[in-house]
Amino acid sequence: MPFHGQPWDWQNMTSIKEQAAISRLLSFLQEWDNASRNLRSQILTKFIDSNEGKTGPELEQEFSQGASLFLIRLTTWLRITYMTGLDLEKILRSIGIFLSAVSSNRYLIEFLEIGGVLTLLEILGLEKIKEEDKRESVKLLQIIASTGRKYKELICESYGVRSIAEFLAKSQSEETQEEVQILLDTLLHGNPKYQNQVYKGLIALLPCGSPKAQQLALQTLRTAQSIIGATHPSIVDCVLTVLGTMHLEVQYEGRKASSSPKAAATAHSPKSPSNHKEPVAECLK
């Protein structure tokens, strides 16, 4: 049956919807700007629950094509408050929603432009920051590193290998240490400019006081050997040292590392002075 009333003005309706969406966005941003710390914490909880796993286009739709306006607020708040540790896990998880979203490279670039990598690395070295907060920082570094070679290089150029390796040695959480291993392994692959730096960082971890860190470093070293080819002279002394440990899981990984053809060949070659007792930072100079 034909419609005899006034025709719909679809263009006008679309314009009204867009204006309403923009109004909601501005209202949300104003609420954030004026919110107390407790209210911001509640906003973040709701944001995480509602948006985890969304793609870039879905986030843009949620924020009426203005998602970057919220991301810049998150990154600004992170830089202002990260040394205090207040709500740090929620802030990092919220930023992670943007960085991990499919088709969201613009968010990553925006985060890096304000010094995001340096902030994440600094978090790893702060004693007052909780372990779970540092783990979230590691996860964001994983996202950045997995995006491509130039991002791996950016992390390494920011003294990232040293910060990450030292954190692995000091971490008290096996779950966190395993996340750090994933990050180091990511930095090792497809990163020819800095793969030797990662390799040396792994060797420097072997004398540390954490059996879990030693185990993970030895596992990753086997991968490093296959990528790099040449064997660093100090690796044999370091591996032989860890073989004397009482921790069976470290002994097992040490035996596997020492039985590799390249390590065995190095064991029979003239040794340079060992520096395996030096701290991680010294080995990465």
Residues 196-251 pLDDT 10s: 999 999 999 988 889 999 999 999 988 898 888 877 776 767 776 666 666 667 66
Confidence of residue 29 (pLDDT cuts 50, 70, 90): very high
Residue 272: the pLDDT is 41
The whole-model pTM stands at: 0.85
Residue 255: the pLDDT is 73
Position with higher pLDDT, 237 vs 166: 166
Position with higher pLDDT, 250 vs 175: 175
Q: Which residues of 48-74 are buried (b: 16+ CB within 10 A; e: fewer)?
A: eeebeebebebbbebbbebbeebbeeb
Least confident of 107-121, 179-193, 213-227: 213-227
Is-contact 238 221, C-beta < 8 A?
no
Residue 3: the pLDDT is 47
